[in-house]
Amino acid sequence: MKVIAVNAGSSSLKFQLLQMPEEIELASGIVERIGKSDAIFQMKFNGEKHKLVLEILNHKDAADIVIKNLLDYGVIKDLKEINGVGHRIVQGGETFKDSVLVTDEVIKQISDLSDLAPLHNPANVTGILSFKEVLNEVPHVAVFDTTFHQTMEPINYLYATPYEWYENHKVRKYGFHGTSHQYVSHRAAEILNNPKAKIVVAHIGNGASLSAVKDLKSVNTSMGLTPLDGLPMGTRSGAIDPAILGYIAKKENMSLEEVLEALNKKSGYLGVSGLSNDSRDLEEAIKQGHERAKLAIDLQVKSIVNYIAQYYVELGGLDAICFTAGIGENASDFREQIVEKLAPLGVILDKEANKLRGERLISTPESKVKVFIIPTNEEVMIARDVLRVGFQA
């Protein structure tokens, strides 16, 4: 059985075709600059990379290009080989507590949640509609970033704001990166042979979040109503004093929207360093003695350590800490800085193992908490849910 996992953004569309249930990647790629005459299509399969620059005016064109190239390059011989489609949806609110089969009503409900994710949900809906038009005979399943965190208790998802804000407008913590946190925590529990394990997942990429997991369920997470909350990230500020918004709006003569734009797109690594939102650029600058680049990394490291310590107490101890995503999986010096600061919790890093890549244990036998690198695979989680939800008897 072949399943395609789709992640549609406002001007991009990522995809991965998997052979299921074997979970073998057959092809993957991305369409970028949708809406432009010089849009870019890239696809990887059989160890080869293919790239085209062409006019792609909308997501329907992008979906057509993906399918056409899967056929042209012989990845599939016929559209009937694709048995299901999974769609990543950023915000499911309290409406969706699990992945669901896409219906007209589900599409409407996802659209209705756009106030909570104005940059993401409309694009996600566009992706659904585009692929449903191309592949209209197979089940389409919506997989939400937020559903894994729906197991949080009110004490962890409510804010101390007027309760009417929650009742009337659903102001609460939702959390994101749920498919990644679910995949990594389940894999860690499998390695530990302990489904009741207490686990912290550190998903650290340009966007970054932590989760506390117990009994394979999310107990707490760092992102909030939106992905802006929690850790400092590539361009996001993370948690700040909310009074800063009004203060800067007045001082800089900015609108609320402009301040939020700065907190989302001009803060984090980029804002503090003044150089880049890419951790690799900052690491190079640090070697040249750039103090603000170091400060940008240090601020994030401190925040990660604080969250891990909080979750250690909240869970009543930890069995494992798992690093994942672009920075978490690949930046050995970054992991070392974090683990060294966790020494009071009895966490000890195996520095030689930490220099290596791929799934592995990077703590010593003496460490009271095991530390892992576990590469995430959100597409596999999406494909698993297509099988589970889309082909129910």
Centre a 10 Å sphere on the Cβ of residue 104 and count the other Cβ atoms it contains: 7
Catalytic residue among 61, 64, 145, 215: 145
Say whether 145 is catalytic. Answer: yes
Angle at CA of residue 110, ends 25 and 145, nearest 5°: 45
| CATH 3.30.420.40, the chain: domain bounds | 2-144, 193-378
pLDDT attached to residue 206: 87
Tens-digit pLDDT string for the chain (393 aa) = 999 999 887 778 889 999 999 999 999 999 988 888 899 999 999 888 999 999 998 888 888 999 999 998 999 998 899 999 999 999 999 999 999 999 999 999 999 998 888 878 888 898 899 889 889 899 999 999 999 999 999 999 999 999 999 999 999 999 999 999 999 999 999 999 999 999 999 999 988 999 999 999 999 999 999 989 999 999 999 999 999 999 999 999 999 999 999 999 999 999 999 999 989 999 999 999 999 999 999 999 999 999 999 999 999 999 999 999 989 999 999 999 999 999 999 999 999 999 999 999 999 999 999 999 999 999 999 999 999 998 874
124 is in an annotated binding site: no
- Domain 193-378 part of CATH 3.20.20.30: no
206 is in an annotated binding site: yes
pLDDT attached to residue 17: 95
330 is in an annotated binding site: yes
Class of domain 2-144: alpha beta
327 is in an annotated binding site: yes
pLDDT attached to residue 381: 93
pLDDT attached to residue 155: 97
7 is in an annotated binding site: yes
The pTM of this model reads: 0.91
pLDDT attached to residue 7: 87
Note the maximum CA span of the chain. Answer: 61
